[in-house]
Chain A
Amino acid sequence: MVPSELLKVLIVDDEELARRGLRRDLAADPAIEVLAECPDGFEAVRAATELKPDVVLLDIQMPRLNGFEVLELLDPEIAVIFVTAHDDHAVRAFEVNAVDYLLKPVDPQRLSDALGRARERLRRREPMPVEALAAASRPAGVPLGRILVRDGPQVHVLPVETIDYIEAQDDYIAVHSAGRSHLKQQTIAAVEQRLDSSRFVRIHRSYLLNLDRLARIELIAKDSRIAILRDGTRLPLSRAGHTRLQALL
């Protein structure tokens, strides 16, 4: 996009009053168009998919999905500006990753500066450091309780206990859960790092297995094994993966 062009903005906050405040501040600038206001993360993802905003003003503390979880589900080329009333943890994560954020009550001057920087970011096609922020947003040592995946405008919440295994497919992972497979743009190493390591084992370069699903291990040739899951699925088992599995069983 060109800097002088209209900047399309999405406002995401669960408090109506807070949304109205932002909309009023944005209305002062004719180069900005507010596409929609969303009261929660699910709506935000849907609106972002359908309306393709340039910038999302994203509250952090919201019901069901917090701001960081929403960020993971947005297209990385969208410029996100976080908005928070008070969250030391989040603010530290933003400072470390040089991500723009605004504190409530929002100072109109700061808002306009942040939008200016967002224009810059968009012009340079600079993606958000999604992975780093997602990692920094969780207290150290607390493993992920659920994985969020986007299916078009829809968000699926997959609690980790419902996941059978995760498969690497180029830049994506396929999360297999309840007989379905959900694609997500993330590396298998990144998701492995955030999951509970006593529950999810990397049994192969491309496979991360939920230990509860393992039925047995079968030797199919000398030094060549496969893992058989409770539902009969057969997954390759590398030698290193076998060692890791042995250590946990």
Chain B
Amino acid sequence: MKAMLFGAIGLLLGAIVATFLGLRGGAPWEEAMLLGLPLGFAQAALCLAARFPARAAPLAAGNVLRLAATHLSAALVSTGAWILTGFALARLLEQFPGHAGSFARFQREAASLAVTGVLIFLLAVTAHYLIIALESAREAEVRELSARMLAREAELRALRAQVDPHFLFNCLNSIATLTAEDPGGARRMCLQLAGFLRRSLALGQQDHISLGEELALAGEYLAIESIRFGPRLKFVESVEDGCRDCPVPPLLLQPVVENAVRHGIAQILEGGTIRIGAHRDLGGIILTVDNPRDPERPAGRGTGVGLENVRGRLRALHGERAGIEMTSTATLVTVRLFIPWVGDSDRGAEPRDIGKESDGAL
């Protein structure tokens, strides 16, 4: 493909030079071809080589003069070498019979050929810049697409993990027991479970929800779990004023809260308190979830996947600006999430920066 392009450009430029020499310079047709074709291919090679200075000096506002100087001098030097090659070829041709005076004929056209050569070189540089721009636009598009796909995938995974089968079957078991001893309680638990499931499905379909909505979902979830766990599960929420309006990706906090129940409360017979906190900081929101842990239970058992999922989604949406970390002491596990408040402190940054932002993460 490249060789064909080179051949085509070489032939075209050769024809132009030959036409110059033949029509304007009055050179015999054969001589015009003999000089024109090699020069045409030489010029084609120079045009393709113009890619290197174009790549080395990318277009950017502010350095137009320097760019112009760079490319003009490249054009002058390469065209100068090209014309000299022409002189040498013409001189060589003179050695053969029937070509006397070819040097002089070439000399007459040298100036106009030089001007044409410079123009063609500069044209080639421009073409290269165009190609580079097109390529990088396509690359950016591909990157953005893959980042979006990643985000979508993570969301789907999160959704699937959302309705944790262990949670669901244990709830049904609680309801089954309640139906016999407390029909009213069974009915309430059914309604709560239905409400939770319906809300998590609805929220999962949106791009962004408010932190308030996410917290309400966590509240519903914990209310259901506290029927199951009874007095073992206590829950405290402390949310700073104004935080509830912060837009957050849906179901981001939920797996963290579920982890707190599954790996915290469910592993301690005496139970304990899950604390959810939210406050503003550094142009975003810091969410914390902490839960008690059994000091004898090996740390980090089975908690990795859920958090990795949350980390992946945060990164796909906000790049390095967001983050999640887990710290634990002998008796307490704390998960902290930082989510930038897009459109709050920095209105310029749109959430659609997905592609660019997640570059580092890919």
Give the B-binding residues of A (Cβ under 8 A): 14-18, 20-21, 24, 39-40, 61, 63-64, 85-87, 103-106, 145, 157
Are the CB atoms of B173 and A104 closer together than 8 Å?
A: yes
Are the CB atoms of A24 and B268 closer together than 8 Å?
A: no
Are the CB atoms of A105 and B181 closer together than 8 Å?
A: no
Report whether over half of chain B's contact residues are helix, strand or loop; otherwise say mixed. Answer: helix
Q: Is B156 an interface residue (CB 8 A)?
A: no
Q: Is B45 an interface residue (CB 8 A)?
A: no
Chain B residues 149 to 180 lying within 8 A of chain A, measured CB to CB, are 165-166, 168-170, 172-178, 180
Give the A-binding residues of B (Cβ under 8 A): 165-166, 168-170, 172-178, 180-181, 227-230, 266-269, 294, 296-298
Q: A40-B269, A104-B170 are in contact. List 12 more A-B contacts (CB 8 A).
A: A14-B269, A15-B170, A16-B230, A17-B174, A17-B228, A21-B173, A63-B267, A85-B165, A104-B169, A105-B175, A106-B173, A145-B298
Q: Which 4 A-B pairs have the closest CB atoms?
A: A21-B177, A105-B176, A104-B173, A85-B169
A21 to B266, CA, bound (A): 19
Are the CB atoms of A18 and B269 closer together than 8 Å?
A: no
Minimum CB–CB distance for B262 against chain A, Å: 9
Contacts of B180 in A (CB 8 A): 21, 24
Contacts of A24 in B (CB 8 A): 177, 180-181
Query: Closest A-chain residue to B175, C-beta based?
Result: A105
Are the CB atoms of A15 and B296 closer together than 8 Å?
A: no
Contacts of A17 in B (CB 8 A): 173-174, 177-178, 227-228, 230
Minimum CB–CB distance for B317 against chain A, Å: 31
Q: Which of B174, B228, B269 is within 8 Å of A63, CB to CB?
A: B269
* Given A15-B229, A85-B166, A86-B165; A63-B172 close (CB under 8 Å): no
Contacts of A87 in B (CB 8 A): 166
Query: Closest B-chain residue to A87, C-beta based?
Result: B166
Are the CB atoms of B177 and A20 closer together than 8 Å?
A: yes
A86 to B174, CA, bound (A): 14
A106 to B173, CA, bound (A): 7
In this complex, the member of B170, B228, B296 whose beta carbon has the largest number of chain A beta carbons within 10 angstroms is B170
A37 to B172, CA, bound (A): 21
Contacts of B170 in A (CB 8 A): 15, 18, 85, 104
Contacts of B174 in A (CB 8 A): 15, 17-18
Are the CB atoms of A15 and B269 closer together than 8 Å?
A: no
* Given A15-B228, A17-B227, A24-B177; A104-B172 close (CB under 8 Å): yes
A39 to B270, CA, bound (A): 10
Are the CB atoms of A64 and B169 closer together than 8 Å?
A: no
Are the CB atoms of B173 and A105 closer together than 8 Å?
A: yes
